[in-house]
Each structure stands twice: as C-alpha cells, then as structure tokens.
C-alpha cells in the first residue's frame, strides 16, 4: 500500500514541521502501508494550482497512490468546489483520503450520503478559513503602512512598495516558508539570509514583524 503525505504552508499556518510530524505519527499509529511519499507546497493562493498538489494528483491518476493523508481539510483544499473536486478525483481512482484533525477517512467504496454532506460542510469552513487568512495578512500590511518607518524606509522583506502601497513581491512565498523554518529551528538565520540574498539583521526584523508572514 502506497500512502501519500500532503502538506501545504499558507499565510495563516507557516509551520510545516507540525504538519509533517502529525501525518508521520498518524501513518505509523494506523499501520498505513510501507511505501510513503511526501508532497508539499508553499502557497498563499485559494486554489489548487500548485506544483506539489499537481504531482500528487498525477500520481493518483496513474494509480500509484492508495491513500492520501493530510493534517486538516484546509491543507488539501481552500474552497467547497476545490474540496469536492479533489474528493471526487481521489474516489474515481480508488484512493482514500484521511483527514487527521477532523478524524475522517473518506473511503472511495463508501457512498454514504452523510459522508458527502460532511465533506461539503468541511469545504464551507475551509473557504472561511481562507478568507480569514487573507484578512489577517491585509491587516498586518495596513498596520505596517501606518507606522512611521514604513513611510521613510525600505519595504519589508518579501514586499515591494509603490505609490504608498505595500504589496507582495514575487519571492513572498519563499520568504514565508524560510522564516517558518527559522522559527521551527530547522534553519539558521545565517542560512536564511543566504537563501534569500539578504542580511541577518533583515531576517531579525522580518521575524519581529511576523504578522506580515502569517507567523503571528
């Protein structure tokens, strides 16, 4: 049995370590298969247009995956339509979906209407979570723009500034993931500075402004 672990870092929960530890323990405790594959993404979007997810679903379609394990419904999906489509695609190829936090195992052979209704309800909350995440980031940016040093200094790491407005730079997702790894003691500040082509003081300042990167 081949089991896939899927993890996704978003702007609300920038701790990949907690996800990987949770899925690892779940697989071990439930004796799920010997072949384990891991897929991961760093994304702030609200859709499934991401490389790790695509690789996972391609392997599912090729009949290589028997079960997918995720920490929560918001890690595999961010909308009702997205969740329903994912569950249908997995079921079509005989792949089970285990959602740890919700204590659910979606069996492709089970046509229980209550299970389908519950999946849709979970999608509602996933979509709400995405909206809350986006609002937190907007609030963090707004608070930053009101500060004095914002108007007289450079934009924070991972951001650009134009006409008095702060917006995410192309490397914003990478910055979020790297800062999370620093907080989780998976990477040193020196390593982070090298990866992001910046200085350690800049990394320190970014960590102090965690609300801008979903760390607060």
Q: Which CATH number goes with the domain that contains 170?
A: 1.10.10
Residue 134 lies in a domain: no
Do 16 and 90 belong together in one domain? yes
Between CA 1 and CA 36 the distance in angstroms is 9
Q: Which residue, among 2, 10, 4, 65, has the nearest Cα to 33 in the 3D structure?
A: 2
More confident residue, 62 or 169: 62
Q: Which of 35-44, 113-122, 192-201 has the highest mean pLDDT?
A: 192-201
Residue 115 confidence (pLDDT)? 67
Provide the domain limits for residue 29: 2-127
Per residue in 143-167, pLDDT (tens digit) is 555 554 555 567 889 888 776 677 7
Do 88 and 33 belong together in one domain? yes
Rg of the chain taking only CA atoms, in angstroms: 19
First to last CA, the chain: 39
Residue 14 lies in a domain: yes
Residue 17 lies in a domain: yes
Between CA 40 and CA 71 the distance in angstroms is 12
Do 152 and 197 belong together in one domain? yes
Between CA 208 and CA 6 the distance in angstroms is 29
Per residue in 5-53, pLDDT (tens digit) is 998 875 444 557 778 888 989 999 998 877 899 998 875 544 445 788 8
Burial code (b: 16+ CB inside 10 Å, e: under 16) for 135-160 equals: ebbeebbeebeeeeebeeeebbbbbe
Q: Are strands 165-168 and 159-162 parallel, antiparallel or unpaired?
A: antiparallel
Torsion angle in degrees (nearest 10) through CA of 13, 68, 40, 23: 50
Do 59 and 157 belong together in one domain? no
Domain end marker among 127, 155, 188? 127
Residue 73 confidence (pLDDT)? 79
Do 161 and 208 belong together in one domain? yes
Per residue in 5-18, pLDDT (tens digit) is 998 875 444 557 77
Tokens of 141: 């940016």
| 213 Cβ contact partners less than 8 Å away, ≥ 6 residues apart | 11, 14, 158, 175, 176, 179, 180, 206
Residue 137 lies in a domain: no
* SS3 label, residue 216: coil
Contact 67, 61 (CB under 8 A): no
Do 114 and 173 belong together in one domain? no
């Amino acid at each position: 049995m081949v089991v896939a672990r899927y993890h996704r870092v978003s702007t609300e929960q920038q701790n990949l370590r907690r996800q990987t530890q949770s899925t690892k323990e779940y697989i071990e405790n439930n004796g799920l298969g010997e072949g384990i594959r891991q897929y991961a993404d760093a994304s702030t979007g609200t859709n499934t247009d991401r490389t790790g997810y695509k690789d996972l679903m391609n392997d599912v379609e090729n009949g290589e995956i028997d079960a997918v394990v995720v920490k929560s419904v918001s890690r595999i999906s961010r909308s009702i339509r997205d969740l329903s489509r994912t569950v249908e695609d997995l079921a079509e190829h005989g792949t089970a979906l285990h959602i740890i936090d919700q204590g659910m195992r979606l069996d492709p052979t089970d046509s229980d209407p209550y299970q389908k209704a519950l999946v849709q309800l979970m999608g509602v909350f996933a979509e709400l979570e995405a909206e809350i995440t986006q609002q937190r980031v907007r609030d963090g940016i707004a608070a930053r723009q009101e500060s004095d040093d914002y108007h007289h200094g450079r934009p924070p790491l991972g951001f650009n500034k134009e006409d008095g407005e702060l917006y995410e730079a192309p490397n914003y997702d990478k910055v979020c993931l790297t800062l999370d790894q620093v907080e989780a003691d998976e990477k040193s500040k020196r390593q982070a500075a090298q990866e992001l082509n910046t200085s350690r003081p800049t990394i320190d300042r970014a960590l102090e402004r965690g609300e801008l990167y979903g760390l607060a």
